[in-house]
A and B are shown apart, each in its own frame.
Chain A
């Protein structure tokens, strides 16, 4: 079932946060996922790696129910995903994307706190959480009253991460979230992201086409090609023992 050679971590002994069991999905005649089975280990950062069109964003969008499988089961937090309860489930999942998608009509503060307010958090709890996030993300408080359109790209990306982490999610999904950041600023945002992640202690699934980013941020890797898993396992293991020439070519020359 496309589950190869996982080295020290086998599919039996990991606590898994997300499990795909023979998931297939077609959209307007195009195969996105092809009978795909895979697991995402809990409390680790998993990089979903692949060329564009490999199905990596589709995989991510199945986790929070933006896409529903034609067949197969998506399991989340130990239970099959309940598509009637998506709003509740999504509040336990942070989400940040390459386009960032900050709401332009809301201040930075409103963007970050929107979900907490809708969830009925007390003002004091909101303040404390915002303070915590800003400190870790190295965002000055003065930005709170400004509108997203007046921020730099890096600042917007950090605000997007703060918004995704506001409700202390158990799972954080990142869809090419750092691709828009210029290469010079990227090391800084990687560092701040790691700080945020370690503070949040949540599982992370990040989709990327950038092997260097995967290696910098993730411990676990899933390599996708044409809607199929080429190899999944600890990243170090993927690098050392590629299952095939495709995986090998992906990682060649990418070891720091």
Chain B
């Protein structure tokens, strides 16, 4: 059984290994439409010039994305000058200083795409007219305004805190997913949100962008942020994108995705074709292909984590169950870890393991540990002491007792612990997409960013199905691993 388990682990690890020794260029993005569109433009231009590209789109936040780039988990992503200056390096640096700081991190900015996507505050046009709000400073007269801001804007220095200070604003703002903010505006749930000046929704929802009359927001010129060791052929290809997008065109591309609901890959290809930058269209992956790839990645993440969880949980459980004090200590530690919110645990793994699959697997492993460990310890402690005494007296060694008496008797309980861990892992693994691990969370994250329910379902439905299949799989496993008298159903 152990041999088979190891073989499974090796099999599951194969894609990890091959990904590590890739020669492909990895393109990353953050989780909003424009980032996806720019990422896709860069990916297609690279592909068109003969490079192999891996798309790792949808890193959950600027710092995660930047960290991924600095660690070499990705080779490039689209970034904005103002963001580098304020959010990443946290200060007002001259352009020259920024270039030097980037260079010391092994990075550089390529030529700007040409548009300035600055932050803006948006509110419904009628409401702005009724309240007579045109400039951001007008907000001071309306302290009761319902403000919902994207989580990142809410916390970054060049976002809400700085803006509040500069303009002397007293309103309290709550966090809302950026992709849902426009809907919340339309439904009147919030009255003001942060927007990007190139958002496709601005014309569609007839929103008014408030004028930054005190000049708080810096210029956010978008450009490819790349690692220095990117081959010259790749940077040359990317330089062809310099200066080809102005605000209106960017709004148009964003709108085509968000409002017309077109595939990002098609929107990008059409644009590049019209600019004469695409020699041949690469077929975008079909939904089924995507589904298969995401499902396999998902299974890989949860499978490895669960396998490691079983090994560690069973070993630790067997090791400590005889000592009540050790059992308590181990169980308390495990439950303490379990209380860390999963998204926080994923983020905590980044400084240790970077981004991508390893930190996701580590986090899922930590989560699967508690149910397995707890059920193992409890089940072993519940084994009838008479049976243990008889087993000892008959001359079974410690290991033989564990193997032939305690573990088989504890198996139903242990299996239900593993089953719980498996279902939790499958659910939690959808969050792993935020740190670039892929899996079925990928379409959910993208769908959330693009406000595309179909895309969200493309991740959520298979994830739910996987959970159900796992339940069924464990019922079959119970038939094989649990002696008939110990089974829960009376079918023997």
- Which A residues contact B (CB, under 8 angstroms)? 64, 66, 86-91, 93, 95, 97, 99, 101, 103-106, 114-115, 118, 147, 149, 163-164, 173
Contact = CB atoms under 8 A, between A and B. Distances in A.
Given A101-B387, A147-B485, 17 more contacts: A66-B392, A87-B396, A87-B397, A88-B395, A89-B395, A90-B393, A90-B394, A95-B394, A103-B387, A103-B409, A104-B409, A105-B408, A105-B483, A106-B483, A114-B396, A147-B484, A163-B394
B489 interface: no
A103 B486 CA distance: 11
Given A99-B386, A104-B409, A64 B485 contact: no
Nearest to B398: A87
> Binding site of B, secondary structure by majority: helix, strand, loop or mixed?
helix
Contacts, number: 63
B400 interface: yes
12 contacts: A87-B397, A88-B395, A89-B395, A95-B394, A97-B389, A97-B390, A101-B386, A101-B387, A104-B485, A114-B404, A118-B400, A147-B484
B20 to A, nearest CB: 44
Contacts of A97: 386, 389-390
A118 B396 contact: yes
A97 B392 CA distance: 13
Contacts of B350: none
A115 B394 CA distance: 7
A86 B401 CA distance: 14
B87 interface: no
Contacts of B483: 104-106, 147
Nearest to A167: B395
Given A103-B405, A104-B486, A106-B483, A66 B393 contact: yes
Nearest to B390: A101
Interface of B: 384, 386-387, 389-397, 400, 404-405, 408-409, 482-486
B397 A95 contact: no
Nearest to B409: A105
B328 to A, nearest CB: 21
B410 to A, nearest CB: 10
Contacts of A91: 394-395
Contacts of A99: 386
A93 B393 CA distance: 8
Nearest to A118: B400
7 smallest beta-carbon distances between A and B, as pairs: A90-B395, A105-B483, A101-B390, A91-B395, A95-B393, A99-B386, A101-B386
A233 B400 CA distance: 39
Contacts of A90: 392-395
Given A87-B395, A87-B396, A91-B395, A105 B486 contact: yes
Tell me which of A86, A101, A114 has the highest count of chain B C-beta atoms within 10 A of its own C-beta.
Answer: A101
Contacts of A106: 408, 483
A164 B392 CA distance: 12
B59 to A, nearest CB: 49
B375 to A, nearest CB: 17
B389 A101 contact: yes
B488 to A, nearest CB: 14
A118 B401 CA distance: 11
